[in-house]
Amino acid sequence: MRAETPMADKQETVLQGTPVSPGIGIGPVHVVARGFSAPEVYEISEKDIPAEQERFKAALEETKGQLDELQERIKAISGEEESRIFEAHLMVLEDRAMLDRVAEAISTRRQNAEFAFYAVMQHFLEAMRRVPDPYLRERTADLEDVCQRVLRNFREEETPRHTEPDGQHILVAYDLSPSDTAAINRRHVLGFATELGSVNSHTAILARSLGLPAIVGIEDAVLDIRTLTPAILDGYTGRLILHPSEETLARYREIQDRKEKVRLDLESQRDEDTTTTDGRAITLSSNIEFIDEIAFVQNSGAKGVGLYRTEFLLLDGEEMPGELEQSEAYTRLAKALAPHPVIIRTLDAGGDKLPVEPLTEPEPNPFLGWRGIRVSLDRPGMFKEQLRAILRASAHGKLAVMFPLVSGLGEVRRAKNYLKECMDELAHQGVPFDEMLETGVMIEVPSAAIIADLIAPEVDFFSIGTNDLIQYTVAVDRVNHHVAELYRPTHPAVVRLIKQTVNAAVNAGIWTGVCGEMAGDIRLTPLMLGLGVEELSVGPHQVPRVRRAIRALSHSECVAMADEALKTPLSPEIMNATVGLARKYYPELLD
């Protein structure tokens, strides 16, 4: 097991990671390890140390008693051999190294006993999870079980009164899933730093969408950083500064003040049209995952929702919501954002995520497997239930429906046929709906971009999902650090596919939007406009910056730059060209 190696008290320490979402957070650190929830943490005085040591001993003794009783019960039911599995649990509670480490942590950390115990055990657990021996790694479950038992046995009524720490904090974790990130309480979390992750991971994308400063790739962060350590998280440079000096704090507060002035200036333009200096109007809308984000969209000044991801609504539970429950959610969106449009993307998840039909074995390559529109077309009952729900809600506002991961014309026609069946069923029942409901497709597979001219006459709009389009075009898993450098939004092939899609849409008289990461990257706004994109859909927190970028640019100058980019053979040269225009017209947003 790795010994705990805490940072030196009060000495400013800089940990370097990879910045994935801009912004600055200043506050105490809260470390979240894997396995189970951390107990409450608070500081204790020197005179409270003996009492905390006694609380720890009492919790251990109660746990030993419970394990002895459990061992005897199992022996009576299943025999002595089976009861011996608890001997390892009891040995943990008598391990002298662990006992001494916790006693020392209570004294040196000056933190309550249960959190000192939790912190020490998490060091042991993290060390065990990282050893190559699979047998030792599997023993972490036993250790976690013992930890949970001990923590449950700390009696709340014996806890001394204490002052609650400030609710706002910087979250430090081994890793965060997209669901973890989406569920973060943004009133309390100032930003987060993780050991794992990449610039293009879904977690990083969500952080940028939510306006959360974030850093990834800080080695051994969970092992080495103490909860309640004062810190600065710099999402611009990727630095996590522990025990910052007064000079460092003053410098970062000055940076925060400067950024706040820019933010206030951006907010003052909230109701301004998103029109370039030479009169090109661009629709600026928002991407959302939760219905509760309506207020963020309204406050941002976005003109509706360009992408409502329905996965959280449909899959966040043991069973999928029914037609009427879905319809209520979509209706709430439609009414709140009227007269602006809301584009609802049908279920875009792999078959392994379906609560009603989990796959019996994992797919060897889920990115090329059963997901997106393929799942919906294979499960028409589920698909039509969602379509009918969208149609019911369309009577209460301006809705549109969009199909994900389309790879060919046949999928588009089959999806539209199901939509037509749903319209006929509701009409027969006398249920009102928008008979002119607009239908669009996501262009995120190269095959769809190449035959965009064949698909365009069948739909009302295209929305380019640049994240997957880049990934599939350059054959790079954006979360694989070995090849992440090859994931380039300005790859000439990607730029040409976007232009080809836009041209096909123009020729068919429909519009093209972008709802992927490229839409919210203000370095790429000149390129997007120059390629002819008419709508950009971004995270609510990105709307003000993108609006400012659009209003500062000359469309004709962007077109000239994009025309040259289409002839340019190297990705860095295209990036330099678009960044050059961005820096020329809105440098204050890039610094």
Torsion-angle region of residue 372: left (phi > 0), alpha (psi -120 to 50) or beta?
Answer: left
482 is catalytic: no
Compute the distance between CA of residue 230 and CA of residue 241 in angstroms, rounded to an integer.
Answer: 9
User: Residue 169 in 3-state DSSP?
Assistant: strand
Catalytic, 202? Answer yes
CB neighbour list of residue 228: distance below 8 Å, 6 or more residues apart:
28, 29, 30, 41, 43, 111, 165
CA–CA separation, 524 and 517 (whole Å):
10
Question: Using CA atoms in the order 193, 197, 202, 203, what is the torsion angle rounded to 10 degrees?
Answer: -20
Strands 239-242 and 13-16: antiparallel
Q: Which of 422, 515, 541, 558 is catalytic?
A: 515
Q: Where are the beta strands (DSSP E) in 314-355?
A: 342-345
Can you say how many angstroms the Cα of residue 263 is from the centroid of all Cα atoms in its chain? 23
Task: Answer yes or no: are the C-beta atoms of 287 and 209 closer than 8 Å.
Answer: yes
Residues 565, 569, 575, 577, CA torsion sign = negative
Contact between 511 and 306 (Cβ < 8 Å): no
CA 336/CA 175 separation, integer angstroms = 35
Contacts of 99 (CB under 8 A, 6+ apart): 60
Residue 312 buriedness (CB in 10 A; 0-12 / 13-18 / 19+): middle
3-state secondary structure of 37: coil
- Catalytic: which of 30, 169, 202, 491? 202
Kindly give, in sequence order, each residue whose CB lies less than 8 Å from that of residue 79, ignoring residues fewer than 6 positions away.
none
164-191 residues labelled b (16+ CB within 10 A) or e (exposed): ebeeebbbbbbebebebbbebeeeebbb
Closest by CA to 3, choosing from 124, 106, 142, is 124
Cis-peptide into 339, omega within 30 deg: yes
> Contact 532/499 with Cβ under 8 angstroms?
yes
Residues annotated as catalytic are: 202, 515
